[in-house]
Structure 1
Amino acid sequence: MPSVKNPNGPSKNRLAARAAKARKQAQKQSAAGRKSKVTKADQRRGARPGLLPTSGPNAAISAKKRRKLERKMEYALKRKMEEEREAEMKDAPEADDSTKDGGKATDEDMAVDTENIA
């Protein structure tokens, strides 16, 4: 007697279709909470949330170009910090020199209090 599967159960094809449908619904439901950040104009051109364009402002940047841009940004930040530091130094009042006449001390500066010598 030949072996035959249960004729009352669903076929393999039907089981696969049911599983695919369940996967699709679960994926849609999980994506419903996330709002797409792709603009309408880009969506009309075929953009989707998981895909990045190959050109334009939103295109992915290569690792080499990213490093170069980071370096440029660091240099710009460093220059800005230097300018701020120089601006602070210009605003600061100049220190008063106790010595006048080109660095020579006067008699008043050299005076010693002789009363409190013990």
Structure 2
Amino acid sequence: MPSVKNPNGPSKNRLAARTATARKQSAKQLARKTQASQHKISKADARRGARPGLLPTSGPHAAVSAKKARKLERKMGYALKRKLEADGEVEMKDVSGETDAKATKQQKKREADGEDMAVDMDNIS
């Protein structure tokens, strides 16, 4: 009697497809593992949505909004001023206050005299 394939087993095509799928899955898993070791994103951050190039949406490593960044910048500036005052260094005040007052007086005087830049509308060519 000739040998006949078991009709209850998977076909050659199914077996080939299964091995190809398994090969692809193991390759993907290996790629994910090497990529994770390159970027070194913690598991906790990854759970919060962190990916390579993306910060988590919450937690200590989350991205700071623009509004909060401005507030933090302001607070850091105040802290720096306090530190400088504690060290005894005083920031120099701007001397241009006197020159600004003189400039505004001269500008008011020009307006009163009528020397303001008048444009001759008749000779526009």
Q: TM-score range by the shorter chain?
A: 0.3 to 0.5
Bigger helix fraction? 2
Structure of greater Rg: 1
Instruction: Please report the TM-score for the alignment, with normalisation by the length of structure 1.
Output: 0.38
